[in-house]
């Protein structure tokens, strides 16, 4: 790999699937566009994921992405992903909206990648020197979140009692890592955790009696995400059960709530921490003159967000 062109531009449009409320695009599909920008950077360097796998036996894996969502994106927007190589395995990505003669930034993101030696690839070519520092056996080798820990189950302790003990405000949801959550025939990929974050928040809100459908119908509120980060901590594998918790850790000025997702797989008496995520979430008005503007949360909503876990 010869980084002669450290910045690439890729034109694209958001997927129709991401326009769930009106024609605005949700955070999950914004992060998908960020991922596409990074992949295009590798392709333009002559090191797309197909070539890396077939010739060098390497899996290209996103291990950490963080994004600041600064402007609404619509389903028909033409988007330019500006991806810049920064240092080591780090990239910055801006999603620019092409509106008339001007460009407006919709998303500002940072992404870290790893190149993982894969099984079942013969006749591997010698690795280019510039690639060597990116090689990792597991995400944690080059991705060290500040708060990660495995949990040990004591005698008589269940996954539920461990992850949602008495007095906890955490919500627990478990799901099976199907093949379509995985990449390279084995590992749960970064985008699967993005999907899990979207779903666990939705399930948490419904469990607390403030589902998206209810608030949309009764208040004309729609969920809005301002900031999100998803980090891989350790490998999770196909058909393992991913035990996923979500908890609201803080409410900011009665407008936004800061939530955290953590994912674990059980191996023996240990819950192995595989991923962690943070999301800054609020609500915007969906109709009328103030459509798209943030709204203040009422006391009933605040109480629901911070209630203790029900048995």
Q: Supply the pTM of this predicted model.
A: 0.92
Q: CA 87 to CA 37: how far, in whole Å?
A: 17
- Answer yes or no: are the C-beta atoms of 280 and 222 closer than 8 Å: no
Tokens 């876990």 locate to 309
- Comparing CA positions, the residue from 265, 264, 259, 230 lying closest to residue 246 is 259
- Answer yes or no: are the C-beta atoms of 188 and 274 closer than 8 Å: yes
- Answer yes or no: are the C-beta atoms of 242 and 264 closer than 8 Å: yes
Q: CA 67 to CA 307: how far, in whole Å?
A: 28
Name the packing angle between helices 49-56 and 27-44 (round to 10°). 50
Strand partners, 115: 60, 135
Question: Would you call 287 helix, strand, or coil by DSSP?
Answer: coil
Task: Show the CA angle centred on residue 197, arms to residues 158 and 134, nearest 5°.
Answer: 100
Tokens 């909503």 locate to 301
The pLDDT value recorded for residue 230 is 97
Tokens 């997927």 locate to 15
Q: CA 197 to CA 231: how far, in whole Å?
A: 11
DSSP string covering 9-62:
EEEE---GGG--BTTBPPHHHHHHHHHHHHHHHHHHTT--HHHHHHHH-EEEEE
Handedness of CA 181, 151, 257, 70 (dihedral sign): negative
The tens-digit pLDDT sequence of the chain (311 residues) is: 556 568 999 999 999 999 998 898 999 999 999 999 999 999 998 889 999 999 889 999 999 999 999 998 999 999 999 999 988 789 999 999 987 777 889 999 999 999 998 887 777 888 777 677 778 765 655 555 555 589 999 988 999 999 999 889 999 999 999 999 999 999 999 999 999 999 999 999 999 999 999 999 999 998 899 999 999 999 999 999 999 999 999 999 889 999 999 999 999 999 999 999 999 999 988 877 777 788 999 999 999 999 887 75
268: left (phi over 0), alpha (psi -120 to 50) or beta: left
The pLDDT value recorded for residue 7 is 92
Tell me the average pLDDT of the chain.
90
Could you give all domains of the chain from N- to C-terminal order, each with its CATH number?
1-141 (3.10.129.10), 145-311 (3.10.129.10)
The pLDDT value recorded for residue 3 is 60
For 80-95, the three-class secondary structure string (H helix, E strand, C coil) is EEEEEEEECCEEEEEE
């Amino acid at each position: 790999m010869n980084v002669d062109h450290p910045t690439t531009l890729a034109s694209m449009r958001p997927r129709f699937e991401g326009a769930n409320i009106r024609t605005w695009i949700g955070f999950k599909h914004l992060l998908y566009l960020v991922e596409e920008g990074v992949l295009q950077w590798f392709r333009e360097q002559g090191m797309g994921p197909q070539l890396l796998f077939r010739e060098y036996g390497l899996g290209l894996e996103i291990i950490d992405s963080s994004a600041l969502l600064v402007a609404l994106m619509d389903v028909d927007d033409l988007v330019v992903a500006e991806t810049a190589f920064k240092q080591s395995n780090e990239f910055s990505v801006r999603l620019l909206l092409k509106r008339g003669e001007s460009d407006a930034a919709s998303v500002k993101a940072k992404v870290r990648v790893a190149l993982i030696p894969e099984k079942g690839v013969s006749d591997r070519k010698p690795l280019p020197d510039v690639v060597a520092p990116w090689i990792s056996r597991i995400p944690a080798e080059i991705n060290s979140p500040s708060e990660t820990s495995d949990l040990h189950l004591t005698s008589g302790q269940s996954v539920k009692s461990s992850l949602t003990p008495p007095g906890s405000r955490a919500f627990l949801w478990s799901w099976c890592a199907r093949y379509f959550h995985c990449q390279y025939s084995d590992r749960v990929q970064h985008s699967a955790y993005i999907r899990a974050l979207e779903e666990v928040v939705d399930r948490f809100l419904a469990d607390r009696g403030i589902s998206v459908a209810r608030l949309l119908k009764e208040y004309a509120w729609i969920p809005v995400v301002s900031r999100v980060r998803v980090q891989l901590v350790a490998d999770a594998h196909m058909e393992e059960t991913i035990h996923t918790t979500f908890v609201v850790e803080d409410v900011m000025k009665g407008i936004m709530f800061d939530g955290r997702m953590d994912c674990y797989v059980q191996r023996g008496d240990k819950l192995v921490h595989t991923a962690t995520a943070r999301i800054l979430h609020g609500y915007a008005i969906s109709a009328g003159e103030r459509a798209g503007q943030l709204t203040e949360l009422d006391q009933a909503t605040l109480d629901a967000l911070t209630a203790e876990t029900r048995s």
